[in-house]
Structure formats: structure tokens, C-alpha cells
Amino acid sequence: MTFAELVAPLAVAKRTGNLNVAISSLTDDSRAVKPGGVFVAVKGERVDGHAFVEKAVVAGAAALVIQKDVHVPLPSSIPVVHVEDTRRILGVLAGRFYADPASHLCMVGVTGTNGKTTVTYLCKGLLEAAGRRVGLIGTVAYQIGDECIPASHTTPGAVELQELLAKMAGAGMDAAVMEVSSHALAMDRTAGCEFDVAIFTNLTQDHLDFHADLEDYFQAKLRLFTGLNPSGAKPRPKRAIVNLDDPRGTHVCRASRVPVWTYAIHQTADIRAEDVRLALSGTRFTVATPKGRFPIESQLVGEHNVYNMLAAIGVGLHEGFSPDMVQRGIASVVNVPGRFERVEGGQNFTVVVDYAHTEDALLRLLTTVQVLKTGRIIIVFGCGGDRDRTKRPKMGRVAARLSDIVFLTSDNPRTEDPQAILREVEVGVKEVLAQRPVRYEVMVDRRTAIEAAVREAKTGDTVLIAGKGHEDYQIVGTTKDHFDDREVARAALASLRV
């Protein structure tokens, strides 16, 4: 491919040099520039790529895409294209460079505060039960056939995303199911992707360290639906699948440019769960759909997972699957890493590891266990450092209101003082104490807190270890050390038998 071919569809403000040069790679990271590559200078959250143009040239960049003048001498042999917004066009360029892989895949995007990971796993299970070959991109990992790549972000950067999609298409995948974060949408990482199905799970407070307020956060999510193109390059029919029980659901429905199927439990919707039966062993319900009513059984636990299943059922029905195929697909997903994941060690009580790290997610988790519990609820949780501080007392209030014993501990404190974080969480716990006496302890060391919770548990109790879920690390300061809640819990359970 030549540089001229790459930038052909762009609205170019200015160009210099001969664009008919062969190019071999594309990046917005000056450290990753290779000889013959194109460097796109993007203004990021913390640094401006334009400051690294000279470094990119020294590394062998064959062409540059910039949005503002750079005050460094550039060799006349290097062509330069000026555009209005390099971040916005980066995904488009990456899509062209990798031969538009999204056009060869059924693209399913899932956005919302909670449930994205579980919905993507359920969609993958459904599609695979129907014989499709499915790639997955999300918080836990990026999966391409048997290859599992550790996730760098919930939604990777624009160039990495297109490279992953190209690998999927090249490996014979039929579909790609991906979590689409608000960060990714706000930063145009998914530009260059034509989605076929978009799912909205819910919206509650999160990421207000990045977004100006909740409305700004919602508007970022909404871009997935306003970006659905009913007359795109792909001949496939498009659809939005929207949780109508969420207050923002109606807004998403109005904003969608393509036909919508709604789903709900507590009100009338296109896809509705009826006669829901919840147990710690799993979930049963009847689903009423545009294609008829049929029973669903799953090993996933809790009402929140009923919503997740409804969203995935919508994808299956949109793809033309029979009720039997939908049933088999849902039943095939018996566990999602770090999402209500049980830890077994021969104990006579329940231990669950869950990713719940927002007020709403913690509320959903605890409400589920309140309905199903046979003993006390013992919770271990904390809040991440260098992230939205306003949710800390709110999470403390939820934990104290719905648990019997609370162990406050570190999550990923990052560069904040762990004690200071826990004092902010503790404010919410103390607010509840006047109405509902609850025992709580503050233990900065997470391992110590998990061990204490396991030792505390008696027959029939439920120990919830919340916040980190599938993560196998803990970030203290700027150091990332191995730490897996599931491993620590198993070791604590093993020590009980000694």
C-alpha cells in the first residue's frame, strides 16, 4: 500500500511531499515506529504526539499525519498530510491499512456500566453454539480461536483494535464480539468499525475521573448507537438491543438510527423474562420474544445475569437462531472469569469473587446474595486509587447496609495513600451504623483481609470478595505485582484444613 492510497478518503487540509511512497506499518506511538511506517501524531490525555514527530522521523517513519504544524526540520523526502483531527481519523486509517477487517465480520458491540463482559461471553457462546467462529475483545482478554491475549484495555487503541480484527478475519472468524468502553467511544478508538449489533446494558456512576459528569459519560456511550449506519457498506441488517428497565434506555432507543429490540424484566419489552426463578445453583425463566416464548436455564446466578442473558438472546434471535439454538448457547456459558466466580475448597460456606467495583455493581451483587443467602454475608472490598473518589463513600454505604460483616481493604491503590482511600470509604460505612449496627474492620493488606474473612465464615455464610474479579495483579504506587483474589482465597481455604 502507498501513503496516497491510505489517505485517499480523508479530508486533507494540506499536504507536502510525494505521497506515492510505499508504507509498511502504522502507529500513533513514536516508540513503535518502524522504518517505512506511518506516524500519526495524536494529542492524547497526557502527552501530545506532535512533540515526538522528530523522534518518529529518526526511527525511520516514511510518512506523517499531523493536525498542527510542528516546529522541527523535516526531510523533504517525507510526505506530510495535515488533517483537522488525527485522533478521529486514526481508526479509519488503521481500518484501511488492515484491509477493513470489520467488513468481513459480524460486529457486535456491547456498552454500558455493568454487564459488558458477561454479555460478550454469552453472545460468544450463542454464536458458537450455532456453528459460528467468534473472536472476543474485552476486559478479561482478547480471544482469537485458541489464542488468548491478555487485555491491555477493555477496548484497545484504534490501531491495535484493527490489527486484532484483521487477525480474526485472517483466522476465519465469522464474528467479533467486543466490549465498547466510554473511553473508547470518547477517544474514537472504534472509528473504522461498522457495527451490526449494538447492546446497551445500563448506566450508573463510573469513570467520573475521565468524564465531566454523568451526562457526559452517557453521551459517550450513546455514540455507539448514533454511529450505527442503516445503509453502511455491509449488506447485513443492523439492530440496537436496549435495556428498557434502565432509565436511560428510552433515550438510547430514540437516538438509535436502526431498528431496536428492547429487553426487560419489570416492564413490557420486545424480549422479556417471565417467571424468573433464582438460586445459588443457577437461574430459570421463560423468555417472551418476537419469535415466541421458550424456557431458559443457566448456571449463572442473579437477576443481573437475567438481564445479561436477555441481551444475548436478542443477538441470537437477530441472527435468526432457533429457540433450541438459543437455549443451548445460553446453557453453554457456565462461568465468566471474575463474575460471581465461586472458589471451592471443600468448605461448608460459599466464597465468591466478583469484579463489582462501582456502587451499582456492588448493590446488584449484594442484592442477589440477600435473596439467596442461607447465613451471614461477609464482604471484602476497597476502591481503586487515582479514580473517581465520589463513589467511595457510596460503596461503603451499600456494603454496610446489605452485609453482616465488612472488611475494608485495598483494591489497586496506585499512587494514592491506601489509608486515605479507606478513610473515604469508611465515611459511608459509618453513616449506616446509626440505623443498622454492622461489624466492620479496616485491613490495608488485601491478602490479610481475605484470609480474615475466610476464617470468620461459618456454615451457610457467603464470603464476597469484590472489586478485582479476574485481575491477577495489584497496583501499589507504580508497581504492578501478581495478586489474584481467587488464588488467595483458595490458599486461605486450604489453611482451614491444616
Name the band, by pLDDT with cuts 50, 70 and 90, for residue 137: very high
User: What count of other Cβ atoms lies within 10 Å of the Cβ of residue 13?
Assistant: 11
In this predicted structure, the answer to whether residue 240 has a pLDDT above a threshold of 90 is yes
Cα dist from 236 to 29, 65, 173, whole Å: 34, 33, 16
pLDDT tier at 366 (50, 70, 90 boundaries)? very high
Cβ contact 127:216 at 8 Å: no
Does residue 212 carry a pLDDT above 70? Answer: no
Q: Walk across the sheet containing 37-40 and list its strands.
A: 14-16, 80-82, 63-66, 37-40, 25-27
Read off the pLDDT of each residue in 137-165 and give the average, rounded to a whole number.
91
Task: For residues 319 and 342, give the distance between their C-alpha atoms in angstroms, rounded to a whole number.
Answer: 32
Domain 99-331, architecture per CATH: 3-Layer(aba) Sandwich (3.40)
Delimiting residues of CATH 3.40.1190.10 domain(s) in the chain: 99-331
Grid-cell match 474485552, residue found: 138
For the chain, percent of residues with pLDDT exceeding 90: 86
pLDDT band at 150 (very low <50, low <70, confident <90, very high): confident
| 479 Cβ contact partners less than 8 Å away, ≥ 6 residues apart | none
Q: 3-96: which CATH architecture?
A: 3-Layer(aba) Sandwich (3.40)
Kindly report the CATH class assigned to 341-496. alpha beta
90 Cβ contact partners less than 8 Å away, ≥ 6 residues apart? 28, 40, 42, 158, 159, 188, 191
Distance CA(65)–CA(83), nearest Å, equals: 7
pLDDT, tens digit, for every residue of 162-211? 999 999 999 999 999 999 988 888 888 999 999 999 999 999 866 555 54
Confidence of residue 17 (pLDDT cuts 50, 70, 90): very high
473 Ramachandran zone, left/alpha/beta (phi>0; psi -120 to 50): beta
Only one residue has cell 448506566, namely 203
Tell me the C-alpha distance between 198 and 247, whole Å: 18
- Where in the chain do CATH 3.90.190.20 domains reside? 341-496
- pLDDT of residue 46 exceeding 90, the answer is no
Report the mean per-residue pLDDT for the chain: 94
Residues of the chain with CATH 3.40.1390.10: 3-96
The residue whose grid cell reads 488468548 is 148
Helix (H, G, I), strand (E, B) or coil at 12: coil
| Dihedrals phi, psi of 107, to nearest 5 degrees | -100, 115
Tell whether the model's pLDDT for residue 445 goes beyond 80: yes
491 versus 232: which is more confidently predicted?
Answer: 491
CA–CA gap between residue 416 and residue 264 (Å, rounded): 40
Check residue 215 and give its pLDDT.
82
